[in-house]
C-alpha cells in the first residue's frame, strides 16, 4: 500500500470529513462552494475550513477560487488509487471477496427488452423532478419507466409547474408530490438510474439505493425561488423545463445496451454539466 493511503484513510475516519467527502462525491463533477458545504453539514465556516484543509492536504479533494469564494471537488484519480490500494492489499485482488452480488451481476445489456427505471430526486418534488418525470415518460415511455420524489416533498405541486406541463401537452392528473421513502420499501421498484436535479437533495446524506443504480447530479436552479411578476416566474419555469428537456433528450439518445458502466457513468455526468441556456 502506498504511504499516502493510510493518511487518506485516517483523514476519512473523521465523521464530518467523511460527510464532506460523501457530499462532494454525490455532487461530482460539480465544484461546491465552501459556504454551501458548511450549511449542508451544519458546521461553522471556520470548522468546515479546517475539515476541507485536511482533505486537501491528503489530495482527496482540490479547490479552485471563484471570485471571492473557494469551490471544492473530489479528486477522482486519487479516489480510484485509494480504492485500488484497498482492493489489491486488503482483498489481494479477489473479485469474489470485494464485490457485492449486485456489482458482479450489473450489466445494462443483460435484458434489452425490459424498460429502464429512472428516478428523479429533488427536495420538494413540486417542480424540477416533476418536470423530469413527465418529460421522460412522454419522450420515451416505450423504453423507460419514470418516477420522481422529494426528500421533503411539498403538499401540492407548484401551480406554475403544472401550468407549464399542461401547456406542453402533459397529462398532470396522475402527478403528485411523493416522499422518497415510498421508493425505499422492500416491494418498491428497483431503479437503473437515479438523478438528483437540485443541489440540496444531492447534498443530503440519504441511504444508498438498492440495486446500485447509475446515479448522477443534474442540478438546476430552483424556479420556485424566482421573484418578480407572474410573467417572470412563468419564464423561469419554462426555462427549467427546457433545460431538463434537453438533458433528457441526450440521455434517451444514449446506446445503453452498448456502454459499460464506466462509460455510461461518464456520459450521464457530462449531461449534468450541460449549459442551461436556451
CATH of the domain at 208: 3.40.50.2300
pLDDT at res. 104: 45
Same domain, yes or no: 163 and 31: no
231 in any annotated domain: yes
Going by C-alpha positions, the residue among 268, 273, 255 that lies closest to residue 215 is 268
- pLDDT value at residue 141: 79
Instruction: Check pLDDT > 80 for residue 221.
Output: yes
Q: What percent of the chain has pLDDT over 70?
A: 89
Question: How many distinct structural domains can be found in the chain?
Answer: 2
Average pLDDT, integer, range 130-156: 94
pLDDT in tens, 98-119: 655 445 445 555 555 678 999 9
Examine residue 277 and state whether it is found in any structural domain, yes or no.
Answer: no
pLDDT number for residue 91: 65
Which domain does 48 fall in, by range?
4-98
> Does 147 share its domain with 257?
yes
Question: Which of 45, 36, 119, 30 lies closest to 76 in space, CA to CA?
Answer: 30
pLDDT of residue 208: 74
> What global pTM score does this model have?
0.78
Domain annotation covers residue 278: no
Point out the domain boundary residue: 98, 114, 140.
98
Same domain, 154 and 240: yes
> Are 85 and 131 contained in the same domain?
no
Say yes or no: 74 and 145 in one domain.
no
Amino acid at each position: 500500500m502506498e504511504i499516502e493511503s493510510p493518511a487518506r484513510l485516517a483523514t476519512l475516519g473523521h465523521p464530518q470529513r467523511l460527510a464532506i467527502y460523501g457530499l462532494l462525491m454525490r455532487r461530482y463533477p460539480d465544484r461546491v462552494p465552501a459556504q454551501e458545504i458548511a450549511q449542508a453539514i451544519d458546521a461553522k465556516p471556520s470548522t468546515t475550513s479546517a475539515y476541507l484543509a485536511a482533505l486537501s492536504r491528503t489530495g482527496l479533494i482540490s479547490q479552485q477560487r471563484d471570485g471571492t469564494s473557494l469551490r471544492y471537488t473530489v479528486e477522482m484519480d486519487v479516489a480510484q488509487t485509494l480504492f485500488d490500494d484497498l482492493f489489491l492489499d486488503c482483498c489481494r485482488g479477489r473479485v469474489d471477496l470485494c464485490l457485492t452480488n449486485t456489482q458482479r451481476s450489473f450489466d445494462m445489456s443483460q435484458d434489452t427488452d425490459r424498460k429502464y427505471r429512472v428516478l428523479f430526486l429533488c427536495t420538494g418534488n413540486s417542480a424540477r423532478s416533476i418536470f423530469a418525470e413527465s418529460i421522460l415518460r412522454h419522450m420515451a415511455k416505450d423504453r423507460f419507466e419514470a418516477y420522481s420524489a422529494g426528500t421533503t416533498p411539498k403538499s401540492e405541486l407548484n401551480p406554475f409547474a403544472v401550468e407549464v406541463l399542461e401547456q406542453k401537452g402533459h397529462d398532470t392528473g396522475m402527478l403528485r408530490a411523493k416522499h422518497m421513502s415510498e421508493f425505499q420499501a422492500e416491494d418498491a421498484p428497483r431503479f437503473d438510474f437515479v438523478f438528483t436535479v437540485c443541489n440540496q437533495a444531492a447534498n443530503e446524506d440519504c441511504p444508498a439505493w438498492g440495486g446500485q443504480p447509475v446515479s448522477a447530479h443534474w442540478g438546476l436552479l430552483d424556479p420556485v425561488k424566482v421573484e418578480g411578476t407572474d410573467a417572470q416566474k412563468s419564464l423561469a419555469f419554462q426555462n427549467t423545463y427546457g433545460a431538463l428537456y434537453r438533458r433528457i433528450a441526450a440521455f434517451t439518445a444514449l446506446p445503453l445496451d452498448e456502454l459499460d458502466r464506466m462509460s455510461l457513468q461518464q456520459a450521464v455526468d457530462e449531461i449534468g454539466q450541460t449549459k442551461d441556456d436556451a
